[in-house]
Amino acid sequence: MTPIKFGTDGWRAVIGRDYTYENVRKVIQAWCDIQSRKEGRGKWEVVLGYDRRFSSDLFAQEVAGVLAANGFHTLISETYCPTPCVSWMTKEEKALAGIVITASHNPYQWNGVKFKESYGGSASPEYCQKIEEQIVKNDAAKRSALFMSFEEAEKKVWVKTFSPQRYIEHLRTLVDIPRIKKSKLKIAVDSLYGAGSGFVAEVLGEEITEIRCDANPGFGGVNPEPIEKNLKALLKTIVTQKCDIGLATDGDADRIGAVDEKGNFIDSHKIFSLLLRHLVFEQNRRGDVVTTVSTTQMVARLCKKFNLPLHETPIGFKYICQKFLESKTPLMGGEESGGLGMAHHVYERDGILSGLLLLDILARHQKPISQIIEDLQKEVGPLHFVREDLHVPQEQITAIKQKMNQGPPQNLCGEKIVKNNFKDGFKFILADDSWLLIRPSGTEPLLRVYAEAPTLEKAQKMIEEAKRMIEM
């Protein structure tokens, strides 16, 4: 089998190939072996949740069985729930950790395990490395995982269920629900058959238009990632039902995507910028802002305007989370993939809260979301973003990395490159703030290519030049 290695956010593998009951038990046993109960302050030492993928509930029961056999008390969600629900519960319960059975936005064939540290945020690289190393030690010693059946664990009260309702009640305190209701917005939500199904409506306490919200482990043949190519059904719904806004979440609902009232996709860069401005202007919040190398320059321009400290990290919310921990006054962090986190909530991405904040913005401004975005572009733009995911064999990715390290280009689209940023991938920046990023994925055999420029034509031109660079 392939060695168990953690990627950008947890361990993921193909179900039935490497993602098996035996290997999930190995991962959890390794976690148990390296824990110190002194780190936990609550009655329940682990908060456990799962998404709506094939057999995620059964894999979660396997996890609970290993935890119980090792003497760890576990709170498991009584049904599927968003990853940020587990993160928030972990913080609230003062638990040792949170564990989520999910493969996030990966294709339906995949599943995975995410770990959340005691503060509720993504596990650090060092935390995950210790688990990997312990797995190797256990394999060398031919040590099998301890195990107790879920039924026995429940009977002996090692395991107890919790309702996601507590998380829902908390979300209601973070947005102006009466104002949103009073605005009479017509809202559509596309949960892409994921773990966010039903949560926005539950928080609002009223009916909204929901699509792809039933159980479908195959995700209807579409990857559960809220990017434009996957949201055709939502775009159509917005137009035919004349909705004011469409919200979309990924497989475990920690990422956000949106569609305006005209059926145009709203990328995460604009959402990040809108939410940041909202937190500063409407909620009177200030503090450190954290972005990754693939995030829009609009956020940097807003931070300069508002005099907010700005920090940049490699891609992966675990790095943003570490910056939150280092800061005395963290405000917000986010990444291009749609993962946005508000530090006053939990040090974690939350697609549900991000969507609710967009509704709060609409209710306060009393104008179409397209107009609000147009105002944003006048304030800190114009900037246009393009991304392409290229399926590339691993050996070719290795060759591309060697090529870029040995001789990066000096010019891009006929303009001089004024700055290189190799913090995570290969980023080339031009004098007008345009930039191109070539980066191997941390979770899949993909090469991701990103570009941002003052015009869409220039951004697309940079993408095409990137393809020529890597000889695709």
Which residues are CB-contacts of 99 (< 8 A; sequence separation ≥ 6)? 28, 31, 46, 47, 48, 49, 63, 86, 113, 114, 115, 116
Mean pLDDT of the region 445-470: 93
Peptide bond into 393 cis (omega under 30): no
Residue 412 pLDDT > 70, yes or no? Answer: yes
- State the pLDDT at residue 309: 98
Residues above pLDDT 90, as percent of the chain? 88
What's the whole-number average pLDDT of the chain?
A: 95
For CA atoms 266, 355, 270, 225, the dihedral sign is: negative
Residue 442 pLDDT > 90, yes or no? Answer: no
Mean pLDDT of the region 217-222: 95
Flag the least confident range among 196-200, 370-374, 440-444.
440-444
| pLDDT tens digits, one per residue of 30-72 | 999 999 766 667 778 999 999 999 999 999 999 999 999 999 9
- Of 396 and 74, the one with more pLDDT: 74
- Confidence band of 403 (pLDDT split at 50, 70, 90): confident
| pLDDT tens digits, one per residue of 291-316 | 999 999 999 999 999 999 999 999 88
- State the pLDDT at residue 40: 67
Q: Is 245 helix (H, G, I), strand (E, B) or coil?
A: strand
Cβ atoms 54, 81 nearer than 8 A:
no
- State the pLDDT at residue 211: 98
Comparing CA positions, the residue from 187, 184, 167, 198 lying closest to residue 238 is: 187
Which residues are CB-contacts of 165 (< 8 A; sequence separation ≥ 6)? none
Mean pLDDT of the region 98-123: 96
- State the pLDDT at residue 312: 97
Cβ atoms 5, 132 nearer than 8 A:
yes
Type of residue at 415: E
Comparing CA positions, the residue from 141, 124, 158 lying closest to residue 30 is: 141
Which residues are registered as beta bridge partners of 385?
Answer: 452
Please give the Cα distance from 1 to 327 (Å, whole number): 41
- State the pLDDT at residue 222: 95
- State the pLDDT at residue 37: 67
Please tell me the total number of residues recorded for the chain in this structure: 472
Mean pLDDT of the region 326-351: 97
- State the pLDDT at residue 219: 96
- State the pLDDT at residue 471: 75
CA distance readout (Å), 355 to 34, 224, 371? 37, 16, 18
The one-character DSSP state at 18 is T
| pLDDT tens digits, one per residue of 203-214 | 999 889 999 999
Mean pLDDT of the region 394-404: 85
Instruction: Estimate the crossing angle of helix 369-380 against helix 297-306, to 10 degrees.
Output: 70
Task: Give the count of beta carbons closer than 10 Å to the beta carbon of residue 420.
Answer: 14
- State the pLDDT at residue 39: 67
Mean pLDDT of the region 12-27: 97
Q: Is 355 helix (H, G, I), strand (E, B) or coil?
A: helix
Residue 20 pLDDT > 90, yes or no? Answer: yes
- Confidence band of 441 (pLDDT split at 50, 70, 90): confident
